[in-house]
Structures are given as structure tokens and as C-alpha cells.
């Protein structure tokens, strides 16, 4: 069975994912929380990852639009492995209801604002047509 697989892209996504996941794990271990407390590590990881995604994709579109493995390695791999919205969902489900609702709202708002801020920052100085 011959699947049409882009092996170089698969390899860079996997390598990047390992890097991102190890960074996320290290932050989670260094900054633990209980179900009764706000999960600052997971929130910080997701918001900072979203900020970096905004910066990365804006800069790649501007400076390296044709380099086919940069985006899969850094975006899908490193930042995809670093961010952890599935863990955020588990934190919401296991958390104390009042903390969980605040955390859920803070994650959604923080992530969206972070992507916007990262993209806006990366766009500073860009020539307008």
C-alpha cells in the first residue's frame, strides 16, 4: 500500500512536536497546581504559544513564504506540541466550578488576544501598499 506521505514534512512536525512537548512538560512540572487553584502554567503556555503563533505566521508570510518546512516544523510541530488546549479542557473539567469558569474565559480571551498581539507586533514596520 503506497500512501502519498510527505516524509520530510512528517519528520519536521514530529521533531518539532517533541521539542514543544518537552518544553510544555517542563513548565507544567515546575509550576504545578491543584484542582482548586488557577492552572497558571497551562494558561501561560497556551497564551504564550498563541502569541508566538501570531508572530511566527505573520513573519513567515512576510519573509519566508516559500520555505515549505519552516511552518510545519515551528508552527505545527514546536508550537503545536507546546500549546495544550486538551489539558486546558481537562483542567476545566476537574477544577472547582468558579475557578474553572474564570479559567475557561481567560484562556479563550487570552489566546485570541495573544494571536492578535503577536501578529500586530510582527507587522510593525511593514510597508503598506
Which whole number is the average pLDDT over 67-93?
94
Domain coordinates of the chain in residue numbers? 7-123
Which whole number is the average pLDDT over 51-68?
91
State residue 67's pLDDT score. 85
State residue 77's pLDDT score. 97
Cβ contacts of 79 within 8 Å, gap of 6 or more: 16, 20, 49, 52, 53, 56
Which whole number is the average pLDDT over 86-112?
94
User: What single DSSP character describes residue 78?
Assistant: I
Contact yes or no for 54/122 (Cβ under 8 A): yes
More reliable by pLDDT, 97 or 127:
97
State residue 76's pLDDT score. 96
Residue 128 pLDDT grade (very low, low, confident, very high; cuts 50, 70, 90): low
State residue 2's pLDDT score. 62
Q: How far is CA 114 from CA 2, 4, 80, 127, 128, in A?
A: 41, 36, 15, 23, 23
Amino acid at each position: 500500500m503506497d500512501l502519498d506521505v510527505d516524509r520530510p514534512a512528517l519528520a519536521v512536525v514530529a521533531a518539532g512536536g517533541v521539542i514543544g512537548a518537552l518544553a510544555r512538560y517542563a513548565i507544567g512540572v515546575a509550576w504545578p497546581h491543584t484542582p482548586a487553584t488557577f492552572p497558571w502554567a497551562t494558561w501561560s503556555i497556551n497564551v504564550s504559544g498563541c502569541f508566538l503563533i501570531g508572530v511566527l505566521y505573520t513573519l513567515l508570510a512576510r519573509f519566508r513564504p516559500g520555505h515549505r518546512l519552516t511552518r510545519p516544523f515551528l508552527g505545527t510541530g514546536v508550537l503545536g506540541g507546546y500549546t495544550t488546549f486538551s489539558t486546558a479542557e481537562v483542567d476545566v473539567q476537574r477544577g472547582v466550578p468558579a475557578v474553572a469558569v474564570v479559567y475557561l474565559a481567560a484562556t479563550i480571551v487570552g489566546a485570541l488576544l495573544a494571536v492578535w498581539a503577536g501578529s500586530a507586533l510582527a507587522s510593525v514596520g511593514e510597508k503598506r501598499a
